[in-house]
Chain A
Amino acid sequence: MSSALTEKPYAEELPTTGAAGMILNGRYLPPPEDKDGKIWVRTSALVQASPEDLYTIWRNVEQAPAWQEQITRVVKTGERTSHWVMETDGKTIEWDSEVLADEPGKRIAWRSTGGDSDNAGEVVFEEASGGRGTMVTVLQEFRMGKLASAWETFVGRNPKQAVIENLRHFKALAEAGEIPRTQGQPHGDRGLIGKTKASTYGEKIPNAIRLELICDRSHPVPGT
């Protein structure tokens, strides 16, 4: 059983080489290598919205269950702290999180401070050239071995892929006002093989998105 999310909180500094560590002195840098029990994922999306609006949606953590897979509840516990509840592979895990850096309209960095998950990350919002919207880049790390990661892939959503998919959901919600889905649509008998492919198709991703939290596009962030 995956226990990687239950290790002690991680406390090192994140890389400080500019936008999610992608460019240093004009050179492209690949994402950090998975090693020493940590896995990294970096992903980016071009979103048709302003950096300020996207920052606002992201920073409103209680809204996260609307676009982050398997996150069922987030409660703000302070100006920079929050408590997260996730349902994964049939069990509930919880952790606390704090914001390390908060630059409105530009960047947010965070880390977990205790509980069942050990993760840290940052998101950077940069205006794209030629009125093409905003480049959103996410860099996230988990303290989790490769084996545990592989297990997650088998039983549900690979954690790296989850970060990639969550950014995709974030973009869809910000641009189109909803996240495309097929869960709950009709189909004929899936047969033996079809039923076992739990991780492959969106139709079967458990508890993907809290639909009732999706609000209309003109008011993307209730309460702000």
Chain B
Amino acid sequence: MKAVCWMGKSKVETLTVADPQLLNPHDAIIKITRTAICGSDLHLYDGFIPTMESGDILGHEFMGVIEEVGKEVTNLRRGDRVVVPFTIACGSCLFCKKKIWAACDNSNPNAHLMEAAYGYSGSGLFGYSHMMGGYAGGQAQYARVPFANVGPLKINSDLPDEKVLFLSDIFPTGYMAAENAQIQPGDTVAVWGCGPVGQFAIASAFMLGAARVIAIDRLPERLEMARSLGAITVDYSEEDVSVLTALKDLTGGIGPDACIDAVGLEAHSAQLQGTYDKIKVALLMETDRPSVLRQAIQAVRKGGTLSVPGVYGGLLDKVPFGAAFGKGITMKMGQTNMHNYMKPLLERIEKGQIDPSYIISHRITLEQAPEMYKVWRDKKENVTKIVIDPWAETAA
């Protein structure tokens, strides 16, 4: 089959590799019909996530048709249409029982690597480093899905792939971010980053009762999209704009009730601290660039909530923890507990409450993926979301 492989920092190639096979009794093989490139794939592309190896198949947002199931998979059969969650969960351990699926004990074959870095291991993820399981990803024509009895969401309706594909990660991730923001009726919520996760966080914040959402970014097409959802936008790159002042101005001086960092470890900053972080990362003195996190901690109101769906990987410098303590804020974060959200969010799509496909800007073939990683990283061509048809020969 053809697959998009990570071949080193800033180096992605579409290669012909072996087809996946059933390896365990709860596995399924799916023929992928649509797959996408995630913002978090850029952290791999840019070399921020350790334990990637040359040859790793990328991709964790995919859906398709069941080709073959292992002998213990009784809920799916060949021909079923499914969306696959990016976190892999066994469904049986203490954490799965508590519905903290992203903390599954039994799905990471390389748990010891993550234990060394984080104390304990989270669940395995598709196509997201060996530390996080080393599973081959879904930017390919086929994929092996472990614990297929637990994860994949069956799509029984004839909704097109593009409307349900983002149930694999970014829609539930944006929704959990809004849920983690503990929104009360009338709240003002500030969202940093108007990429796909930020978009779904904005839409979900409104669904959960936010009165006002303030969206922060610098790319005109993304800010436009946020306004189309009803958010007030702040362009942090504009001269004379201070995000902290803007958020005070828009909240009667008290600050947003909740802040959502939908940017994560590769934040850009118009301020001097952006340069500071780039230098420190280059000198291996920190691993992540936390300028959004710093600002969100600073901005959130007293007793407010900070929700972090943006990915962080390692060690952060100069995080204003005193401000977090001083204001008594709550911080909620982590990989998405996908399995809690896929079904209810599918119902919202089926009822026509949201059509997640509105964020798609590019439809491409597997062969185009390497060049599109570069476009995605550099935010060229007004890119907002790239979807791959792994069977297409020519671009749509």
The answer for the CA separation of A188 and B140 in the assembled complex, in Å, is: 12
Q: Could you tell me the distance in whole angstroms from the C-beta of A197 to the nearest C-beta in chain B?
A: 7
Cβ-based interface call for B155 (8 A): no
Q: Closest CB-CB distance, A46 to chain B, in whole Å?
A: 6
- Contact of A176 (CB < 8 Å), options: B17, B90, B111, B135: B90
Which B residues are CB-close (under 8 A) to A46? Answer: 94
Task: State whether B18 touches A186 (Cβ < 8 A).
Answer: yes
Tell whether, in the assembled complex, residue A180 and residue B124 are in contact, meaning their CB atoms are under 8 Å apart: yes
CB-based A-B contact count at 8 angstroms: 132
Q: Does B54 contact A (CB under 8 A)?
A: yes
Contact A194/B72 with A201-B110, A201-B134 known, Cβ cut-off 8 Å:
no
**What are 22 A-B interface contacts by the 8 Å CB criterion?**
A48-B92, A164-B112, A171-B93, A177-B25, A177-B72, A178-B25, A178-B72, A181-B109, A182-B109, A182-B136, A185-B21, A186-B57, A187-B5, A188-B7, A188-B55, A189-B15, A190-B54, A200-B113, A201-B53, A202-B109, A202-B110, A203-B109
Q: Mark B128-162, 1 if CB is under 8 A from A, else 0.
A: 00100111100000001011000000000000000
Which residues of the partner chain A approach B136 to less than 8 Å between Cβ atoms? 182, 185-187
B24 at the A/B interface (Cβ < 8 Å)?
A: yes
Q: Tell me if A2 is interfacial: C-beta within 8 Å of chain B.
A: no
Q: B10 at the A/B interface (Cβ < 8 Å)?
A: no
> Is B233 among interface residues, defined by CB-CB distance under 8 A?
no
Q: A172 to B93, alpha carbons, bound, how many Å? A: 8
- A residues near B (Cβ < 8 Å) are 46, 48, 132-133, 161, 164-165, 168, 171-172, 175-191, 193-194, 197, 200-203, 211, 214, 216-217
A175 touches B134 (CB 8 A): no
CB neighbours of B20 from chain A (8 A):
185-186
Q: Which residues of A contact B5 (CB under 8 A)?
A: 187-188
Whether A194 and B55, one on each chain, are in contact in the complex, defined by CB atoms closer than 8 angstroms, is: yes
Q: Which residues of A contact B266 (CB under 8 A)?
A: none
Binary per-residue interface labels of chain B (1-32) against chain A in the complex, 1 for a CB within 8 Å, 0 otherwise? 10101010000010101111101111000000
Report the nearest B residue to A192, measured CB to CB: B54
CA distance A203 to B13 in the complex (A): 21
**Chain B residues, Cβ within 8 Å of A165:** 112
Q: Which of these binds chain A: B100-108, B212-220, B289-297, B316-324? A: B100-108
B78 at the interface (CB under 8 A from A): no
Question: 15 extra interchain contacts, Cβ-Cβ under 8 A, other than A172-B90, A180-B90, A187-B136?
Answer: A164-B112, A171-B105, A175-B105, A177-B26, A180-B88, A180-B107, A181-B24, A186-B19, A186-B57, A187-B53, A188-B56, A189-B7, A189-B54, A190-B53, A202-B109
